[in-house]
Chain A
């Protein structure tokens, strides 16, 4: 039986009304790997601002999309991203601030990038405004290339073996599964707006390099605030990032690099990264998604 018959194909996207109780979750929520815990948490600090920016940018693009199917997909995407932003924003308060972490410096970085650098701008001509929009759409395509890989990774990562907190694990797996489920959208939007190979490749480079540098930076900020960490140096964060990849508590740099290489292929389609059926199966089991739907 060919894979084409067992693959569920493109899924009609819907936001899920989820909620997570992290009031009893420890700060080091992967108890068996504190550095991996803080490195994944660092992503949580980027997400609310980043995903709200996705929503704003896609809402801005919506009136220009005349393809009815793509417009529906974009609407589903926006709702899912809005829920991701809400859920991770609540975790910032209910987990990190509740455990005594000062979230302002990390959130300030995200605000600076997604509001000041990439936010709305008063540009003089229609052509400049359109260029600005398309460049941001291309960038979202690059970021979603990476989030598809990360989402696929977290669905099967052996984090239970390292005593990960079930609620936070469900948060990241629900999010990851939806990233896999909607991974075609940003790519299709970029294509619709005429993003060519070189712009796509450039966006991918900026997204991946930016993500890794910010990840190291924010994870370090978090590690520095946690007195229970054995080492507060920046070098240790990178050392542990590589080590987490070997253990399976973080994605390997090699898999991240491979997903970028796939993205650089001229005929790339996001279907090459991740497995829709696996994502659909997780969403049918996720405690939060089940309670919501």
Chain B
């Protein structure tokens, strides 16, 4: 029996929800043309099927990806899920269907369009996560470290463990302006909190002094005779500058 393709899936936007879409697709023999979540609900002519997130089904799918495809494939899928790629859900579903058929070697098929899209997107998310390990800047307010980031992808799940490992005794907050989510680390506890808006408060004298010191260091360390703005821009794209201390006012 051919798979039914004239259908769209609506899920709750969580990773588990997406895995349940995969589950549904297999057990109902359906190949949805669109998968979207409540937040980005779109007009479609196809009948929309609501997928209820079921933790057991999600666990099953997650386990099977690791077993039948590979741990690497699971990593790719997870990274893609956090990306801002258009139609990422359908691409992930197609990739997983290929993977179940071909097995662990699917991640080597770099010239295949779906695999290429997945690897490229995962690479993009991974590198943006790394950029934020580098270019994120904390400011201190009464002993609490606060930073604002504006990433294209949802990088907090990849970036925050790095800072938790680095500053185990600190309290800090990283606010993702794009996705309107704050990551809070306090006394070893980690939380993601939806937060509509957030601005950095006025800095106190000590914080201002460290900012001035850092700016001075930044400007002094450059060698005038070697000035190379293009190289700097290549290494540190300008969209990161907005929230970096060295470029503040």
- Physical interaction between A and B: no
